[in-house]
Amino acid sequence: MWIPLNYEPRDHTLIMSLLTEFFMTTTHMSPLSESIKALFQAALHNVAPDIPLAVVLERPRQSGHGEYASTLALQLAKAMGRPPRELAQRIIDALPPSTLVETVEVAGPGFINVFLTAAAKQSVVSDVLRAEGRWGSVDTGRGRHVQVEFVSSNPTGPLHVGHGRGAAFGASLANILAKAGFLVQREYYVNDAGRQMDILAVSTWLRYLAGFGSSIAFPPNGYQGDYVAAMAEKLRRTAGQAFHRTDEAVLEATPGISPTQDDTDAAAATCNEAHMDALIANAKRLLGPDYFSLHQQVLQEQLEDCREDLEAFGVIFDEWFSEQSLFNDGAVARVVEQLSAGGYLYEQDGARWFRSTAFGDEKDRVIQRENGIFTYFASDIAYHANKFARGFDLIVDVWGADHHGYIPRVMAALSALGLDVQRLQIPLVQFVSLYRHGEKAQMSTRKGQFVTLRALRTEVGRDAARFFYVLRKSDQHLDFDLDLAKSESNDNPVYYIQYAHARIHSVLAKWGGDIRQLHAAPLSSLTHVQEFGLMQWLRGYPETIELAALEYAPHTVAFYLRDLAAALHSYYNSTQFLVEDDTLRLARLALIYAVASVLRDGLQLLGVSAPESM
C-alpha cells in the first residue's frame, strides 16, 4: 500500500476492520497490480498449497526498491518453519513468466521487490486517459450508505473561520468517500430548540425595542454582533410595533445585571444568566404566540444566511435536520423512557440522570432537569438513535475539538440503547487561528468579535480557503496565514498546484491538436527518470483515495496533489514537449494530460477549481 510521507495513523476500530477487510479480500489498486497479484497467488499455490494467505502488494517508499513489494515470505516463515529469505527465493522461482515484470529481487529479511518493465509502467498513462476522470475511483465502500454530518453550528450568527474548517473538511471527506464507492448523505443538524436560540431571539427583540426608544441595558451575555441590529431593523420594517412592549413589562421581576468588577467572574456570570432567563420568560409571556413568530423569523434569517454562505463556499447539504422536530414528534421523550425502562436512569435532586459511568464515562449525566426540561444531551441521544433508525451503515459526525469530552457520553447512551457504536465515527476538527500581517485575530461569537467565513472568502478567495483548511490533519491546530493564502508564489500550495494544471493546458493549447489523439498515443518513448516518476505518482492516486477515505484524511489528497505538482513542474522546466518527433510529442503530451486529469480530479474533491490559464 502506498503511504504518503506525512501519513500518521488514527486509532479507530472500524477503520482498522475496514483496512483488514480491504487487505484480506481484494485490492483496489489498478488492473496492473491485479495482474502482479495473480502471479504471486500462483507462486503461493506452488510453494505452499495448503496455507491460505491473501497476497498483499505494497508500494515501496523508495523508488530503488521497485514498483511493488510483498511480505509473503515473512508471513509463510513461521507456518513452514523455514527462513524467510529462502522462502522468498522459492516464491520468486515459482512466479509464472510475465511481460509485465522486468526482475524480482529478495531484499532485507525476506521482502520481495518487483521491478516492472517499461511498458508496464507506461501503461498507467493509457489507464488514466481511458478512465476520463474516473481514475482514482475505488470500491472500498461497496455501495454502503454513509452519513456525514458536519458544520451543524448553532444558527445564532454568521459562520466564522472556525466553522469554515469543519465545512471544508466535512465536504471534502464526503467527496472522497463517494469517490471510494460509498453512497454518501450530507447532513446539517440545526440546533433550533435550545436556549441559545432563545437568547438570540431576545437579543434581537431588545435591539428592536431600542429602535422605539427603549432604555433597557443590553445584557453582556446577549448576542452583540451587527447582524443582530440588522435583524432588529428588518423586524421593525416588516412588523412595525407588533412586538413592542414597555420597559417596565420587559424588566418585570428580572434580577439586575452584575458588574464583573464588583463580583467574582463566576458570581457575575450566574447573575447575568439569571437575568437572561428572566428576560426570556418575560418575552414568552408578553408576546404569547407572537414569540414563536419572532423566534422563527430570527431562526430562518440565520439559516438562510448560513445556507447561502455555505453554498458560496461550495458546500451543499442533502438534509437540514431540525432538532425541534425530535421534540415535536416525541422522539426525545421516547428515547428517555427507553433508557429508563432499561434501568439506566435514576433520580437525584429532582433531576433524572443517565448512568453514563456504567459504560466508562467519567461521571453520570443529567438527561432531564428538575424543571422537567430535557437537556441537550437528551436530544442528541434521540438524534443519533434517529440516524441509526434511518439505516446508515456508517455514521460520521464531524465535531469541533472542544466536543472531545462529549464523545464518551454519546457512545454510552447508544450502547445502552443496544446500538452498534462501531457504526459511529467522530473525527475531530481542531481550532483555527487567523493571522493577518503576523497578528492574530480575536474571535467571540457572542460579542460579535469574529472574522466571518464570508469575509475570509472575500479576502483570499474560495479556492485558497478550501485548500488551506485541509492542508493539515483535522485534529491538528491550524494557523491560517492570510498573506500566504493570497500570494501568487510557489510558497502558496494551492497556487502551486493550480499553476501546474494551467501550465499543462497552456502546452496543449499551443499544440492545438485533437485531445482524442492522446488516448491512443504510443508511449514507448517515455523513458526518462522524471517520466517514470510521474507515472509512479499517477499509479498511486487510487491508493491515495483509499487511504484518505479509510482514515478520514483529506489532507493526504492535498499532500499528494502538492507532490504531483512538484514532479510536474520539475519535468516541465527540463523538457521540450512540442518537439518535431510526432511519436515523442504525442507521448509527452499524453503523459502531462494524464497528470492534468488527476490534478483536476483531486482539486475538485477538495472543492478547489482547476483553471486552465493563470
Q: Are 424 and 397 in contact (CB under 8 A)?
A: yes
Q: Are 589 and 577 in contact (CB under 8 A)?
A: yes
- pLDDT at position 168, please? 98
If residue 241 lies in a helix (H) or strand (E), which one and from where to where?
A: none
- The confidence band for 90, taking pLDDT boundaries of 50, 70 and 90, is very high
| DSSP of 38-72 | HHHHHHHHHH-TTS------B--SSGGG-SEEE-H
Q: What percent of the chain has pLDDT over 90?
A: 85
d(Cα 378, Cα 326) in Å, to the nearest integer? 10
Which segments within 85-160 are labelled E, that is strand? 101-107, 111-116, 145-149
If residue 354 lies in a helix (H) or strand (E), which one and from where to where?
A: strand 351-354
In the chain, the domains with their CATH numbers are 13-116 (3.30.1360.70), 135-141+489-605 (1.10.730.10), 195-303 (no CATH)
d(Cα 612, Cα 610) in Å, to the nearest integer? 7
Q: Are 207 and 232 in contact (CB under 8 A)?
A: yes
d(Cα 301, Cα 160) in Å, to the nearest integer? 16
Q: What pLDDT, in 10s, does the model give residues 96-142?
A: 999 999 999 999 999 999 999 999 999 999 999 999 889 999 999 99
Q: What pLDDT, in 10s, does the model give residues 435-487?
A: 888 888 765 544 545 689 999 999 999 999 999 999 999 999 999 999 999 99
What is the overall mean pLDDT for the chain? 92
Residue 12 has pLDDT above 80, yes or no: no
d(Cα 493, Cα 35) in Å, to the nearest integer? 36
Q: Grid coordinates 448523505 are at which residue?
A: 185
Q: What pLDDT, in 10s, does the model give residues 292-320?
A: 999 999 999 999 999 999 999 999 999 99
Name the grid cell of 68: 511493488
Closest by CA position to 614, among listed 515, 492, 488: 488
Q: Report pTM.
A: 0.90
Strand order in the sheet with 183-190: 319-322, 183-190, 145-149, 394-397, 424-425
Strand order in the sheet with 478-481: 439-440, 432-436, 478-481
Any idea what DSSP says for residue 452? B
Q: What pLDDT, in 10s, does the model give residues 554-563?
A: 999 999 999 9
Query: Of 11-25, 165-179, 244-258, 298-312, which range is least confident?
Result: 11-25
- The confidence band for 5, taking pLDDT boundaries of 50, 70 and 90, is very low
Phi, then psi, of 153 in degrees rounded to 5? -70, 145
